[in-house]
Structure 1
């Protein structure tokens, strides 16, 4: 599968080496329809390790449909997806998770009554070693708390210290941090963030954006879906623009300003003119 052409002139020199490698996730000619409604019309995408690829588009442009195809929530009618160069077919979200793709949806899948460590290991609880774990099926709560603390520390989160604290006592930004930390802990290849700063204040949004940058700096490939253009231009390395079920183009914050990006997104301007 050939790589999509890149506007290398607009990629900062310090980041150009990222795009010399093979994409960690690639999609070619993805098509999906819902009756007579075209969700995706031949969409291509390349995502590289160590970059933040933002996906923007107006309502109905197909950005959520694209992400759902990449993460197993939808199965495209045609087209192909490759992960680290190998063809993959995701029939369900669990398939994508097992392959190393984690998604944090706008509706946070956290259980407020449980503590932070329990939420991080929800559905992936580890048992104690030896007979206590194998026979009595006792959970390794201490180990999970230590690993949870390390995951939070790796993202540079300073506002969460006690892994035994109930999630319901956390602020909106801290809850988002827990969800992102869980994705980072288990998403070995790709982390997808769906509107991570929606409904957050300025300070908490800044904390989440710092986490996005840290995920990238830790070597993960990040897809960011957002309607907040200043946030996109702040953290994205490249910006994939969806329009009417297709890709209207891929730009960078260096090649186009926010006004130009929105104009391409709405159809007021094309990438070539």
Structure 2
């Protein structure tokens, strides 16, 4: 488990929709070189919480700090500038575009000849290949269309896209990265997430796969009814106790766990 100072801190975050309190006074942190698992039943507030972290939603109250500095205003662009990248469950890839085109979609590298903008295709292809190789991802043809890739390969392209940013990302947030994958491809994606941790990234993973997340996460955030009912280490926290926390929302019901 990482002993570094937190790179991201959420302090007393709250978000309501009318009378529905989606997130209630949630605080947590994540450190460089650490995987934080986020679990909870449907409607527990996980997605709303991570939408605030990514800048897609502004909290009603509370604050977010990146490397000790408060994140303001709460926008996606500002969160990205601070080094927070979100990979959604649907990945947001375009099937009719190549790997390179997806990685650089919306942030293409351009040059110019006599004032005429020209895409720097060779440079983008080289950068994409370098990122994939650094992560141990075996995708040789950068020009293949994404529609021809497997689910696991598509997930890896989405992760590579998050890394090819103007600012080096510090925090990677992944929403159900293995939900649509089989056992073999899930293992490949989880291994990649582990390599991101080893490279010093703080990785937040939302998942319903309790055994999987317990095996890979350094710490766990358990959500129920918009509240965090547990935030601590995974040592001594088995599947049964984790499920009890999710269902009962009661730390005592899950037995003694190392926090």
* TM-score, normalising length: structure 1: 0.88
| Partner residue in 1 for 2:130 | 150
Contact residue 22 and residue 85 of structure 1 kept, 8 A: no
Task: Determine whether 1:117 maps to 2:96.
Answer: no
Pairwise CA RMSD of aligned residues?
A: 1.5
| Partner residue in 1 for 2:157 | 178
Contact residue 87 and residue 162 of structure 2 kept, 8 A: yes
| Partner residue in 1 for 2:218 | 237
| Partner residue in 2 for 1:47 | 30
Q: 1:58 aligns with which of 22, 38, 41?
A: 41
* TM-score, normalising length: structure 2: 0.93
Contact residue 43 and residue 247 of structure 1 kept, 8 A: yes
Contact residue 260 and residue 269 of structure 1 kept, 8 A: no
What per-residue deviation string (whole Å, max 9, x for no partner) do you get for residues 93-150 of structure 1? 222122211111001111111110111111111113xx42x72110110010010011
Distance 1:116 1:250 in 2: 37
Distance 1:178 1:269 in 2: 39
Distance 1:154 1:230 in 2: 28
Report SS of the residue matched to 2:164.
helix
Unaligned runs of 5+ in 2: none
Aligned runs of 1:8-47 on 2, under 5 Å?
Answer: 15=1, 18-19=2-3, 21-47=4-30
| Partner residue in 2 for 1:11 | none
Q: 1:83 aligns with which of 60, 63, 66?
A: 66
Larger mean CA deviation between 254-263 and 192-201 belongs to 254-263
Q: 1:249 aligns with which of 220, 230, 236?
A: 230
Q: Number of aligned pairs?
A: 252
Report SS of the residue matched to 1:224.
strand
| Partner residue in 1 for 2:144 | 165
| Partner residue in 2 for 1:192 | 173
Distance 2:252 2:58 in 1: 29
Contact residue 52 and residue 74 of structure 2 kept, 8 A: no
Structure 1 stretches of 4+ with a deviation exceeding 6 A read: none
> Cα–Cα, structure 1 residues 87 and 122, in superposed 2: closer, same or farther, change >3 Å?
same
> Cα–Cα, structure 1 residues 271 and 98, in superposed 2: closer, same or farther, change >3 Å?
farther
More strand by share: 2
Larger mean CA deviation between 230-239 and 43-52 belongs to 230-239
Distance 2:21 2:249 in 1: 22
Distance 1:91 1:30 in 2: 12
Distance 1:47 1:91 in 2: 19
Unaligned runs of 5+ in 1: 1-14
> Cα–Cα, structure 1 residues 197 and 90, in superposed 2: closer, same or farther, change >3 Å?
farther
Distance 2:6 2:233 in 1: 17
